[in-house]
């Protein structure tokens, strides 16, 4: 389902799916903040964020356990879908919400609302898997940046396709991810590099790939190329 922009309005409305994802992030973060300031939860509320991380963040040892035992546990699998909504701080939540609103709107208008869900969760899941494969760590993976980077990848694909259609230099489509990685690199120099970058880069690549399959006319071009090779 494609979200069609209303050109009669000065500001086009946000796709409902984008509002839903951003709303979940906001509600979870506001709950943590209210608990930390003693508005709800009493003394126990001070540890709600940590408890949330323990119960719902992606945890590599649990992922490794499923691989080693060849067993899938629903409560472990659930973490692939819940960790994007747990932020480490209010600032992180704000950045994730901004990414979701801005990029989700552009992606949704071009390739549909359902694509936003596929890209956000697909990038989050594949990013977590790569995080678990690359690192042997007890540091949990949490936060919506992996899914947000998936939307960056989708946005990059849209620009890449448009530049190709207009005859422009396609490398310009990668300017946003280049800036983000440069900023992340500088932060890593001054504040120490974490392990999340593996998940986030995987999220970007996943978002680009998933969006390429959902972009209007993508399957037609794939079938045409398959027939040509056959």
Span 9-49, pLDDT tens digits: 545 688 899 999 999 999 999 999 999 999 998 888 889 99
Q: What is the pLDDT of residue 13?
A: 80
Q: Classify residue 222: in a domain, yes or no.
A: yes
Long-range (24+ apart) CB contacts under 8 A made by 5-14 are: 5/109, 12/105, 12/109, 14/101, 14/104, 14/105, 14/108
pLDDT at 174 over 60: yes
CA distance 126 to 137: 17
Report the number of distinct structural domains present in the chain.
1
101 or 164: whose pLDDT is higher?
A: 101
Q: What is the pLDDT of residue 188?
A: 67
CA distance 87 to 94: 9
Task: Indicate the helix (H) or strand (E) that contains 214.
Answer: helix 197-214
Q: What is the pTM of this model?
A: 0.87
Q: Classify residue 74: in a domain, yes or no.
A: yes
**What is the band of 181 on the pLDDT scale with cuts at 50, 70, 90?**
confident
Instruction: Tell me the pLDDT of the chain averaged across its residues.
Output: 88
Q: Classify residue 71: in a domain, yes or no.
A: yes
48 or 169: whose pLDDT is higher?
A: 48
Q: Classify residue 57: in a domain, yes or no.
A: yes
Interval 64-79: pLDDT, tens: 999 999 999 999 999 9
Q: Which two tokens stand for residue 101?
A: 């609103």
Q: What is the pLDDT of residue 27?
A: 97
Q: Classify residue 120: in a domain, yes or no.
A: yes
CA angle 53, 54, 60 (to 5 degrees): 95
CB within 8 A of 210, min separation 6: which ones? 115, 118, 119, 122, 123, 150, 153, 154
Q: What is the CATH number of the domain that holds 161?
A: 1.20.1540.10
pLDDT at 227 over 80: no
Q: Classify residue 7: in a domain, yes or no.
A: no
201 or 178: whose pLDDT is higher?
A: 201
> Mean pLDDT across the stretch 90-101?
95
Q: Classify residue 2: in a domain, yes or no.
A: no
Q: Classify residue 208: in a domain, yes or no.
A: yes
3-state secondary structure of 173: helix
Q: Which domain holds residue 215?
A: 16-229
């Amino acid at each position: 389902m494609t979200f069609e922009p209303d050109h009669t309005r000065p500001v086009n409305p946000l796709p409902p799916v984008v509002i839903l994802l951003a709303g979940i992030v906001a509600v979870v973060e506001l709950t943590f903040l209210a608990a930390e300031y003693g508005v709800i939860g009493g003394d126990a509320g001070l540890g709600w964020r940590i408890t949330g991380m323990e119960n719902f963040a992606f945890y590599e040892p649990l992922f490794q356990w499923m691989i080693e035992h060849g067993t899938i546990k629903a409560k472990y699998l659930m973490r692939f879908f819940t960790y994007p909504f747990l932020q480490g701080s209010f600032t992180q939540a704000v950045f994730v919400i901004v990414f979701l609103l801005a990029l989700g709107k552009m992606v949704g208008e071009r390739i549909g609302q359902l694509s936003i869900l596929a890209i956000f969760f697909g990038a989050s899941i594949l990013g977590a898997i790569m995080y678990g494969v690359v690192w042997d760590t007890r540091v949990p993976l949490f936060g919506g940046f992996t899914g947000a980077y998936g939307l960056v990848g989708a946005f990059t694909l849209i620009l890449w396709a448009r530049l190709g259609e207009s005859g422009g230099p396609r490398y310009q489509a990668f300017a946003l991810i280049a800036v983000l990685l440069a900023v992340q690199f500088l932060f890593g120099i001054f504040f120490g590099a974490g392990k999340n970058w593996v998940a986030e880069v995987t999220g970007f690549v996943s978002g680009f790939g998933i969006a390429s399959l959902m972009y209007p006319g993508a399957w037609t071009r794939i079938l045409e190329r398959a027939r040509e090779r056959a």
